[in-house]
Amino acid sequence: MTNTVLVLGARGRLGGAVAQAFAAAGWRVLAQRRAGGKAPAAGAGIEWVEAEAGDTAGLVRAAAGARVVVHAMNPAYTAKAWRAQAPGLMQAAVDVAAGLGAVLLFPGNVYNFGKDMPTVLAPDTPQRPGTEKGRIRVDLEQQLAQATRARGLQAVVIRAGDFFGAGSGSWLDQVIVKKLPQGRVTWPGTLDAPHAWAYLPDLARAFVRVAETTPAQAGGGFECLHFAGHTVTGHDWLAALTEVAGEQGWLPAGGALHTGKLPWGMMRLVSPFSATVASLLEMRYLWDVPHALDGAALARRIGAEPHTPFLDAVRAAITQLDLAPRGAHSPGPQAGHSITQGV
């Protein structure tokens, strides 16, 4: 019998990657999207379900027989939107999963940990958020944990670092490589600090493996697993991006990328007038505080973590962004120039 998964928020970046990964693994995928607009094409093994997140009864009927629900719904990237909408979206996901008797999978991030976090974050590392968005994330996980106790729900938080790959909408394409075809990179913090990253196709496959190894249990339960992904520095990114830029014809042989700094000072001036900029600003510390995710518990559950070599992952991510036509060389630093920190 084919397993069925319901992906809430399947039009989003994570939801779409997870839906594709489940379909590739042979699951029947019910992909929820909001009502209205042109329906996306159904891929092999993916069926679109048009419903609002709040229509939990309708979703339960549409997904009858599903044994896994993935909560991939996200409000806009502001603390105000998160505080206003995220608890309701979590409650909807809980209601749907409980109504189906399904396991609920939820993506976590490192916002739960403040500036004083240790360099390696394990599932049992104390969470001391120092930002509003961090506190919201902690509250959401506590809301989920309480629901497992109150309603006999089985839930797993899969915590990961910053996403890259599988489309646009992340720090990578919005900031870091926006001008890569011109031989320029903008780095948000210190180049020396190790930073946790998750190549999205790998993370999506990890969701599938967790689903396959998490049977619904009588009485429910709550657990958190960390996806190690890639822990790399800005220097590691520059090395990989230099190679990819050369392959794309954006740098001459032996050329070097010019590395600029993100204008945090200017962003601070703008932040009172832009909730999005203010939300980005409060998470700045993550670019300067070294951190990595301990994936040992996840590996004990699923075996070796899905892991694309870093250079291959970067190459695929950049290719998917289609930043400029292959072979279209744009003026950039000349051969022999060293990487510099600039504006």
Residue 109 counted as domain residue: yes
Residue 213 counted as domain residue: yes
Residues above pLDDT 70, as percent of the chain: 91
Residue 174 counted as domain residue: no
Residue 89 counted as domain residue: yes
pLDDT interval class at 39 (50, 70, 90): low
- pLDDT of residue 41 exceeding 70, the answer is no
Residues 132-158, mean pLDDT to the nearest whole number: 96
- pLDDT of residue 194 exceeding 50, the answer is yes
Q: Measuring CA to CA, which residue among 21, 73, 2 is closest to residue 210?
A: 21
| Interval 103-129: pLDDT, tens | 999 999 999 999 999 999 999 999 999
- Total domain count, the chain: 1
pLDDT interval class at 42 (50, 70, 90): low
Residue 184 counted as domain residue: no
- pLDDT of residue 168 exceeding 70, the answer is yes
Residue 132 counted as domain residue: yes
Which residues neighbour 138 within 8 Å (Cβ) at sequence distance 6 or greater? 112, 127, 129
Which of residues 216 and 253 earns the better pLDDT score? Answer: 253
Q: Are 18 and 73 in contact (CB under 8 A)?
A: no
Strands 120-121 and 292-293 turn out to be: parallel
Tokens 């991006």, located at residue? 241
Domain CATH code at residue 148: 3.40.50.720
Residue 172 counted as domain residue: no
pLDDT at 44: 72
Please give the Cα distance from 74 to 279 (Å, whole number). Answer: 15
pLDDT at 324: 64
Beta bridge partners of 7: 31, 70
| Interval 274-305: pLDDT, tens | 888 888 888 999 999 999 999 999 999 999 99
User: Residue 40's domain spans which residues?
Assistant: 4-165+198-231
- pLDDT of residue 332 exceeding 60, the answer is no
Residue 67 counted as domain residue: yes
Residues above pLDDT 90, as percent of the chain: 78
